[in-house]
Amino acid sequence: MKKSFLLFALVCLLLSPLSHAAASTPKAYNDRSLIYLTFDDGPHRQTGALLDVLKKHKVKATFFILGNNIQGNERMLQRIVAEGHLIALHGMTHDRHKFYRTPTTAVREMQAVQKLVLQVTGVKTNIVRTPYGSDPYMTAAHRQAMTKAGFQMWDWNVDSLDYRYKTDNRRVQNQVFARLNANYKANVASIILTHDHSITPTALDYILRHSKKRGYEFRTLTGIKNPHNFFNKWR
């Protein structure tokens, strides 16, 4: 009789409105406890080591793929998809003179890498990050052309500066956590910019480990209707 009563009480607790609300209330896409980890310019040889770190910490990330780096790295691209990460687009050349020459050239580069990614992985994605971000080279005409072509543009609000401090893990780590703290105080989620040819596996491991200790949750840029970019910032 006593065991039956305890079982009944447990069922009632699980079905209570408070428990149901706590379990079913999702976090908003811009919740300050969320991190969207992104990698630009891949795939590279080092991508595999970074994927190992992500797998170790059970973290999913978003990879902005550069079309000219796909040849010879097709298996790496397929591994990114197979391990549950989000594939996104970063253009073909990363040459600002070629990419931004006209709105049409920008769109065509994104369409070209989109086609390559689809051929290699079977994934068609419309999530993009333009080379060097949407400021200062993206004009209103460029933005309109991208939107008309069906692309969703993303920038970042945490710059790891890994391209500047390539061998200085501590400076990269300090930069990331300084920006994470600032975004937390501003009550917005964090989108971290890293480069998979610059950030080291050691720095990435530290960032993931200590972010989780602080209670952050990692997500990919999937299914968000309100992208963050330099002309449409999260508030």
Q: Which domains does the chain have, with CATH numbers?
A: 27-219 (3.20.20.370)
Reference 222, options 4, 61, 5, 108; nearest CA is 61
Q: Which residues are catalytic?
A: 40, 195
Phi, psi of 220 (to 5 degrees): -100, 165
For residues 150 and 222, what is the distance between their CA atoms, to the nearest angstrom? 15
pLDDT single digits (tens) 214-228: 999 999 999 999 999
Q: Please, what is the angle between helix 47-57 and helix 74-82, to 10°? A: 10
Residue 5, exposed/middle/buried by CB under 10 A (0-12, 13-18, 19+)?
exposed
pLDDT single digits (tens) 186-209: 999 999 999 999 999 999 999 999
Q: Which two tokens stand for residue 138?
A: 């993206």
pTM: 0.89
In the chain, what percentage of residues exceed pLDDT 90?
Answer: 87
The answer to whether residue 18 scores a pLDDT higher than 90 is: no
